[in-house]
Structure 1
Amino acid sequence: MVGPTSPSSESITIAALDAADRKDRARFVDLGRRFAATIPNYVPQLRGEQLELLDPSRNPFFAHARVQLFVAVCEGRDVGRITAHIDELALQVPREQGFGPGTGMFGYFDAETQDVADLLLETAADWLRAQEMERMLGPISLSIWEEPGLLVQGQEHAPMLMMGHHPAHYRDWVEKAGLVKIKSLRTYNLNITKPWAPVVQRIVKSGHRNDRIVMRRVSKSDWPNEVRIVLNILNDAWSGNWGFVPFTDAEIDYAAKKMKPIIFSELNRIVELDGEPIAFMMVLPDINDMLAKIGGRLFPFGWIRLLRWLRKPRDCGVRVPLMGVLREHHASRLASQVAFMMIDDIRTSAVEEFGSTRGEIGWILDDNKGMIAIADMLETKLNRDYWIFEKAL
Structure 2
Amino acid sequence: MSAPVIRPVSGKADRKAFIDLPFRLYAGDPNWVPPLKDEVAGLITPGKNPWFGHGRAALFLAEAGGRVTGRISAHIDDLAIAQPVEQGMGPGTGNWGMLEAEDEATAAALIAHAENWLRGQGMTRVLAPLSISIWDEPGLLVKGHDHPPTVMMGHNKAEYEGWVEGAGYATAKDLYTYDLNITEPFPPLVQRIVASGERNNRITIRKVNKKKFAEEAALILSILNDAWADNWGFVPLTDDEIAYVGKKLKPIVFEDLIRIAEVDGEPVAFMITLPDLNEFTADLDGSLFPFGFVKLLWRLNGGFGGKPQVRTMRVPLMGVVQKLQATRLASQLAFMMIEYIRRDSVADYGASRGEIGWVLEDNQGMRSIAETIDSKVNKIYRIYQKTL
TM-score of the pair, normalised by structure 2: 0.97
2:30 is the alignment partner of 1:33: no
Q: 2:246 maps to which residue?
A: 256
Residues 116-127 of structure 1 correspond to what in structure 2 (within 5 A)? Answer: 116-127=106-117
2:9 is the alignment partner of 1:17: yes
Offset at residue 381 of structure 1 (A): 1.2
Residues 1-393 of structure 1 correspond to what in structure 2 (within 5 A)? Answer: 7-8=1-2, 11-18=3-10, 21-311=11-301, 312-393=307-388
Q: Deviations over 1:302-353 (max 9, x none)?
A: 2222111122210331000000000000021110000000000000000000
Distance 2:289 2:240 in 1: 31
Distance 1:185 1:174 in 2: 17
CA RMSD of aligned residues (A): 1.1
* Secondary structure at the counterpart of residue 89 of structure 1: helix
Contact 1:189 1:381 in 2 (8 A): yes
Q: Deviations over 1:348-384 (max 9, x none)?
A: 0000000100000000000000011011101111100
* Secondary structure at the counterpart of residue 133 of structure 1: coil
* Secondary structure at the counterpart of residue 330 of structure 2: helix
Distance 1:157 1:149 in 2: 17
* Secondary structure at the counterpart of residue 293 of structure 1: coil
Offset at residue 46 of structure 1 (A): 1.2
> Cα–Cα, structure 1 residues 384 and 337, in superposed 2: closer, same or farther, change >3 Å?
same
* Secondary structure at the counterpart of residue 341 of structure 2: helix
Distance 1:219 1:35 in 2: 42
Distance 1:160 1:37 in 2: 18
Q: Deviations over 1:155-187 (max 9, x none)?
A: 101111001000111000111111111100010
> Cα–Cα, structure 1 residues 39 and 138, in superposed 2: closer, same or farther, change >3 Å?
farther
Contact 2:17 2:68 in 1 (8 A): no
Offset at residue 38 of structure 1 (A): 4.0
Offset at residue 296 of structure 1 (A): 3.2
Letter of the structure 2 residue corresponding to residue 32 of structure 1: P
Q: Deviations over 1:281-313 (max 9, x none)?
A: 000000111112333332332222211112221
Per mean C-alpha deviation after superposition, the further-off stretch among 291-300 and 339-348 is: 291-300
Contact 1:32 1:81 in 2 (8 A): no
Distance 2:150 2:215 in 1: 27
Contact 1:16 1:70 in 2 (8 A): yes
Q: Deviations over 1:108-151 (max 9, x none)?
A: 00111111111111111111111110101111000100000000
Could you tell me the percent identity over the aligned residues? Answer: 52
Contact 2:178 2:378 in 1 (8 A): yes
Offset at residue 259 of structure 1 (A): 0.5
Offset at residue 33 of structure 1 (A): 3.0
Q: Deviations over 1:213-238 (max 9, x none)?
A: 11100111000000011000000000
Letter of the structure 1 residue corresponding to residue 52 of structure 2: F
Contact 2:182 2:342 in 1 (8 A): yes
Letter of the structure 1 residue corresponding to residue 232 of structure 2: W
Per mean C-alpha deviation after superposition, the further-off stretch among 110-119 and 141-150 is: 110-119
Contact 1:318 1:358 in 2 (8 A): yes
Q: 1:3 maps to which residue?
A: none
> Cα–Cα, structure 1 residues 133 and 140, in superposed 2: closer, same or farther, change >3 Å?
same
Distance 1:117 1:303 in 2: 35
Q: 2:304 maps to which residue?
A: none
Any stretches of 5+ residues in structure 2 without a counterpart? 302-306
Distance 1:145 1:383 in 2: 20
Distance 2:52 2:15 in 1: 14
Distance 1:388 1:360 in 2: 20
TM-score of the pair, normalised by structure 1: 0.95
Contact 2:275 2:310 in 1 (8 A): no
Distance 1:209 1:35 in 2: 55
Offset at residue 50 of structure 1 (A): 1.1
Q: Deviations over 1:18-77 (max 9, x none)?
A: 4xx433322211123322434341111211111111110100011111100011110211
Q: 1:4 maps to which residue?
A: none
Contact 2:262 2:268 in 1 (8 A): yes
Distance 1:363 1:250 in 2: 23
